[in-house]
Chains A and B, each alone.
Chain A
Amino acid sequence: MNEVILEVNNLGIDFCIEDRVIPAVDGVGFSLLKGETLGIVGESGCGKSVTALSIMRLLQMPPARISKGEILFKGENLLRKSDEEMRRIRGRDISMIFQEPMTSLNPVFTIGQQISEIFMQHQDLPKKEALSRSAEMLRMVRIPMPEKALKQYPHQLSGGMRQRVMIAMALACQPELVIADEPTTALDVTVEAQILDLIHELKDRINTAVIFISHDLGIVAEVADRVAVMYSGRIVEYGAVCTVFNEPKHPYTKGLLDAIPDIGMSRNKRLREIRGVVPYPDEIKNGCRFKTRCDYVRNKCISKEPPLLQLGTGLVRCWNCL
């Protein structure tokens, strides 16, 4: 049960744009047990999605370049796999759910054609069997009248339905790892709740490990077992979800949690914010990446970057926590 499915060690990804080398991800590491959910949170551009795509080996290279580190999936380094080996892993062992259900289905094929294609590609099933397995998948993601839905085209389904179809496609081959990249961002709140329930339930049923990427802390708190908070290409805090959210250690995590609006709050009061803007990844050469926006900045922070420090059961990248 406690088998490690994915281990990312010291991953570094650079983007080479013209003469500049922009480190989008720097020294990111985490591990994932079978059936566990890891939440990755952070604001736009902090490297969440880049990390996810690098696990799938789907980053555009160039401009992207993996400068260091390794990605071990069941003990094998994905970065050393050939394209063909990688293609076979995708969709079968590692799969992904997207943030844009409206545009993630091919408009010229029926739902049935698109799902059964996965079975035909990865499991060599004959067409008829692939279609009946597709109907099963649709039933699993609670699409009413799956046999009918198989014959429908994407534009005939609503956003929530399409996301269900995407989930069905991602889970078709019962992958051991699913990366959900903001799967509910484009959906309204009711549908979001349904989809989250669904992901939760299916995860338990086929015991998949999930990497859940989001900028919505509430969602992550609900679905994740562990959480990694990323800032400017680095993990700044990492630990069990309740510890991180109940007793945030890093000033950035604290800031994010403070910035969540409270419904009981007086309407005249200004929302708490983290001052400043996200620095460009290559802007800060020395010291802590968060130093420009931190309320607790000290001399040491400016000159020397803190390592990930063990603090209780979690890890924090801050000198103040020493």
Chain B
Amino acid sequence: MNVQTAQLLIETSAPSAAKCVTVRCIGPWVVQSIAAMEAQLDAVRQLSQTEFLLAAAEVSALDTTGAWLLHRTITALERSGSKVTLEGLRPEFSTLLTLVAGANLAQKLIAPPTLSLLNKIGRRAWVALQNLLAMLAFVGECAMVLARALAHPRSIRWRPVLHNLQAAGFDALPIVGLLSFLMGVVIAYQGADQLQRFGANIFIVDLVSLSMLRELSPLMTAIIVAGRSGSAYAAQIGTMKVTEEIDALRTIGIGPIELLVLPKMLALIIALPLLTLYADITGVLGGMIMASSKLGVSFDVFLDRIGNAVSLSSFLTGIGKAPVFAAIISFVGCFQGFQVGGSADSVGRQTTVSVVQSIFLVILADALFSVVFNWLTL
């Protein structure tokens, strides 16, 4: 392609002296080469003369963008009261110009209306209320499906339950194990310094095992699972919604909640306590290794002490929180998946919301548990 930029030559030395301007249009007037012309044409519009002659014989190529630029200049000049003559344009280019001019007549771009602050606040509040109601409706729907399923356990789809058990539970073992091991190491490391100062080395056992079993491993496991599986639930259901698979399920007569939500919920309620137990073990192991290397508390002494340090109720309160966290994570993930609108963008947005919301709700629930357990002196 012969690359050459479009040009514009303004010649004021026209026959009738100061009144008429000749503007020569030269070169390819196509989208790639007319960027500079825009400013020049604006300059033409600023001229004080009232008669313009557009000599277009040297235009070597014209596309719709070029034609539009020409058309908009002519109309702008005419609107300001000037007389414009276009001459020499090749016939095929004239057809294009007519087409562009014709298309323009019927259309005018509609700008979206801008909203006042009060209006925006109102809309936001309304959307928030609708979301809350939708969430409540979803809770109700899930509860009904769950009740029906528990009444007829044979109707539960166990294959997806097993599949989810593997994906959300078994496959998460390495990351959950590693992170809680490191957490145990960190706690023992931080505690070692303080305890050594008082010569209370043996209490490292209480510190590590109580904090891991009661608080840290349930919470951390839940947060990891919310990031790993909760987001996956939202993305999977959201994508199915975009591709109308959810609607297809309904028309075939399979309840989407029954097929998609219930197995996930059941699987996670089974998997999360087991993962928490596993995190307890690896976390304490991490603390044990640190205790023996930094404080001289050997494995035997550590294991001897652990029975006195941790009561059964402490262990059970830790494990007992896990099913609640599991219900929160799976519920929020699935709910946000169903909230997805028609676009790919919305899948991403709802997935983010699902992770943020489930982590928030998990920590909130944990705080509530602490208050309640304190009250019950557990």
Do these two chains really belong together in a complex?
no
